[in-house]
Amino acid sequence: MKANEFNLLYKPDEKVVYTGDFGQTHIVKLRTPAWDIPSGSTLVSMEGYSGGYLVDRISKCPENKITLLELNPQQKELYVLHDGTKCPYCESNEIEGSSMDVDGNTAWQKITCLGCDKEWNDIYTLTNLVELES
Ligand SMILES: [Zn+2]
């Protein structure tokens, strides 16, 4: 995740879960927004820890998953940018789609997150067709 994406989802002073080298998890407080470094990694600093830590080690605190109720336009944009593969609320990859409903040139599909139990509709628009041999 790049700094600009991370900073949309996490704010300084937010309590998060940090996963250490051996898989142990700590609740920590973010101290700064994240920043990108030339090697391509993204770092963030945390209270009580010196230096920067990889943002890949950071995840949402379970209590914050519940309080994040409404998405802002940037979060929706990010969801579409990722082709709808991650829950926009808790970032879980464990999301499930039901069957597709179509009305005119629009289709929608109800998606359920198995991580946080949130539900939403994905919206699709007709863009093209493929001819079939007859
Ligand atoms: Zn979720």
Pairing of strands 58-60, 53-54: unpaired
- Contact indicator for 67, 60 with CB cutoff of 8 Å: no
- Distance from the alpha carbon of residue 65 to the mean position of ligand 1, in angstroms: 8
pLDDT surpasses 80 at 132: yes
Q: What is the pLDDT of residues 71-94, one digit of tens each?
A: 888 889 999 999 999 998 888 899
Share of the chain above pLDDT 90, in %: 66
Sheet architecture: strand order including 35-36: 35-36, 42-44, 53-54
52 alpha carbon, distance to own chain's centre: 21
The CA dihedral of 85, 20, 3, 82, to the nearest 10 degrees, is: -10
Q: Which domains does the chain have, with CATH numbers?
A: 3-63 (2.30.30), 73-125 (no CATH)
Q: Could you tell me the pTM of the whole model?
A: 0.49
Per-residue pLDDT band for 49 (boundaries 50, 70, 90) equals: confident
Q: Note the pLDDT of residue 68.
A: 55
Q: According to the 3-state scheme, what is the secondary structure of 35-49?
A: EECCCCCEEECECCC
Q: In 3D, which of 73, 78, 107, 79 has the Cα closest to residue 95?
A: 79
Using alpha carbons, select from 7, 5, 20, 30 the residue that is nearest to residue 86: 5
- Tell me the average pLDDT of the chain: 89
Tell me how far the alpha carbon of residue 63 lies from the centroid of ligand 1, in angstroms. 13
Predicted confidence at residue 71, as pLDDT, reads: 84
52 alpha carbon – ligand 1 mean position (Å): 27
43 contacts: CB under 8 Å, gap ≥ 6: 34, 35, 37, 51, 52, 53, 54, 55
Task: Give me ligand 1 centre to Cα 119, in Å.
Answer: 8
